[in-house]
Amino acid sequence: MTVNLAIDVQKLWKHYREGVFVRKSFAALQGIDLQVPRGEVFGLLGPNGAGKTTLIKILLGIVRGSGGKAFLLGDPAGSRTARRRIGYLPENLSFPPHHTAVRAMQFYGRLSQVPERVIKRRTGELLELVGLSGREKELVRKYSKGMRQRLGLAQAMLHEPELLILDEPTDGLDPVGRSQIRQLISRLKSEGRTVFLNSHILQEVELISDRVAILAQGQVRGVGTPAELTARFHGALASTVKLHLACEDPNALTELEPGYEAALVRMPDNTTQFSCRVESQAKVDQLVDDLRMRNVSILRLERNQVSLEEVFMSAVGSQDSSVSDNETANASLD
């Protein structure tokens, strides 16, 4: 356990057992290790059933781990001391129907043991921050899903927690709302708070996360910055180049085709599309040289960049075929 870690997960296991007469057991988490330093925005990625929600539940003390250890801000995960220092926005949050925004802030603030005067002061500030000022006295049951999500975020920030665990924070929000949430997370980061983000929207995670972990089948498949992950997966994801060429002699391209394992497509405007896989920049340079030596004009050259989504798909893709029948069961638990 390192004190300057916001989240420290060591060889964490979680087995679920089901059935009354015939007990079935499956591992939702398989001895994962995860460290999130303080002040970082950390994204957790993974398909349904990967164990993301189980991990969050263990961190919050909602379920108990079957093995290994987990610490939040130096305290055992789930302990009351740890819970006092975290803010949590659950997925599919619902508020009691009799709550207004103000009453909800008051209620959750009291549960977090925030002094009354602080609740009073911060309620106005936060509701304004999340764009709910002016509607704070309306019953929450009349709110849209997006508004409820913003209110959930506001209550998570009420007691100025050192660590925020946000489960699908932009779920139900329009693009403007998403952008606002992203700005909010950036602001929290600038205030030195740690944000642990669980989201399905990869681009969003890529945009705001300092580091990302990919979880699949209860195992951490990769941890790092988006760039590190891309680089790490680059080898596996050999990029493709696509060239639009113009040449007088069609045989010039035919000669090159076998060596580059290229695909040639004659276009209606008498140009040719030349596509092949390249492992490195040197290979691209050599291709350009070979084309120019044969007097082939290069009209356009496109090279596909490896995105986080591709990295993600690559990381979890290998499981798709092999993902056991546990998938369905895991999904339901997630």
Partner 1 sequence: MRPYIAVLIDSFWEAVSNRVLWALLIGWALVLGALVPFGYVSERSFQLVSSDIQERGPLLEKLARGLKGQGRASIQRVAERLETEFADRIRDYKADDVSGPRIRHSEIADALNYSLKSNSLYDADTFPTAAARPRLKPLLDLPAESRSEADNEELNRELIQLAFPLELSSPKGERLWIGYAGFKIGEPLIVSRRQIDEFVEPLVLFFIIKAGLGILVVFIAIVVTSPMIPDTFRTGSLHLLLSKPISRVLLFLAKFLGGCIFVLVNIAFVLIGLYFIAGVRFDIWNEGLLACIPLLLFVFVIFYSVSALVGLLWGNAIVSVVACLLLWLLCIAVGLLHGVMRQQLEIMPQLTRIQQFEDHIVSVSERGELQVWNDQYSVWQPGIERDGGNRMRTFGPFYDADSRSLVVKSFTRGPIGNFMSRSRKLDIIRLVADEQENTDTPEQVSSNEETSREVDAAGSPTVKSSKAIGESSVGSVSEAREKARWMSDPGPELPTQVFDVLEVGNEILAITRGGLFQLDRGRLKAIPESAKFLGLDLKNLWGLGTGFLKVSSEDYVLNENAYSAAVDGQSALVVYSSGKLDWLSLEEGKLVVLHTTELEADGTEAAILQANQEYVVVVRDHKPMLILSPDFQTTLHSIELPVEIRNLSWVPGTSQQLIAVTHSGELWELDCAQASFTKIEWPYSGQATVLNWSTDQKAWIGIEPNRAILFDFKSRKIEKELMPAASTFDMVYNWVVRPVYTINPKPAALDDSMAYLLSGDRTQNLGLVNTDLEAAQVEIDLWTPIVSNVIFVVIVLGIGCLYVQRKEF
The residue among 223 and 333 lying less far from partner 1, judged by its C-beta, is: 333
The residue among 61 and 131 lying less far from partner 1, judged by its C-beta, is: 61
The 3-class secondary structure across the chain, one letter per residue, is: CCCCEEEEEEEEEEEEEECCCCCEEEEEEEEEEEEEECCCEEEEECCCCCCHHHHHHHHHCCCCCCEEEEEECCEECCCHHHHHCEEEECCCCCCCCCCEHHHHHHHHHHHCCCCHHHHHHHHHHHHHHCCCCCCCCCEHHHCCHHHHHHHHHHHHHCCCCCEEEEECCCCCCCHHHHHHHHHHHHHHHHCCCEEEEECCCHHHHHHHCCEEEEEECCEEEEEECHHHHHHHHHCCCCEEEEEEEECCCHHHHHHHHHHHCCEEEECCCCCEEEEEEECCHHHHHHHHHHHHHCCCEEEEEEECCCCHHHHHHHHHHHHHHHCCCHHHHHHHHC
What is the C-alpha separation between 203 and 5, in angstroms, rounded?
26
What is the C-alpha separation between 9 and 158, in angstroms, rounded?
26
The residue among 11 and 83 lying less far from partner 1, judged by its C-beta, is: 83
* Binders in 25-44 for partner 1, by CB under 8 A: none
x/- string (CB under 8 A) for partner 1, residues 50-79? -------x--xxxxx---------------
- Regarding 147 and contact with partner 1 (CB under 8 A), the answer is no
C-alpha closest to that of 77 among 143, 28, 14, 148: 14
Applying CB under 8 A, among 88, 196, 233, 274 the residue interacting with partner 1 is 88
In the complex, minimum distance from the CB of residue 72 to partner 1, in angstroms, rounded to a whole number: 11
- Regarding 196 and contact with partner 1 (CB under 8 A), the answer is no
Alpha-carbon distances, residue 330 vs 49, 157, 326 (angstroms): 4, 30, 6
Applying CB under 8 A, among 95, 143, 196, 233 the residue interacting with partner 1 is 95
- Regarding 112 and contact with partner 1 (CB under 8 A), the answer is yes
In the complex, minimum distance from the CB of residue 18 to partner 1, in angstroms, rounded to a whole number: 12
Applying CB under 8 A, among 3, 23, 113, 251 the residue interacting with partner 1 is 113
The residue among 194 and 314 lying less far from partner 1, judged by its C-beta, is: 194
Applying CB under 8 A, among 2, 94, 254, 328 the residue interacting with partner 1 is 94
Which range in 88-96, 174-182, 258-266, 317-325 contacts partner 1 by CB under 8 A?
A: 88-96
In the complex, minimum distance from the CB of residue 319 to partner 1, in angstroms, rounded to a whole number: 25
The residue among 114 and 215 lying less far from partner 1, judged by its C-beta, is: 114
Applying CB under 8 A, among 43, 51, 152, 169 the residue interacting with partner 1 is 152
Applying CB under 8 A, among 80, 175, 190, 325 the residue interacting with partner 1 is 80
In the complex, minimum distance from the CB of residue 80 to partner 1, in angstroms, rounded to a whole number: 4
Applying CB under 8 A, among 76, 96, 124, 317 the residue interacting with partner 1 is 96
What is the C-alpha separation between 237 and 257, in angstroms, rounded?
22
In the complex, minimum distance from the CB of residue 183 to partner 1, in angstroms, rounded to a whole number: 23
| Sites of contact with partner 1 (CB under 8 A) | 57, 60-64, 80-81, 83-84, 86, 88, 90, 92-98, 103, 107-108, 110-113, 152, 155, 165
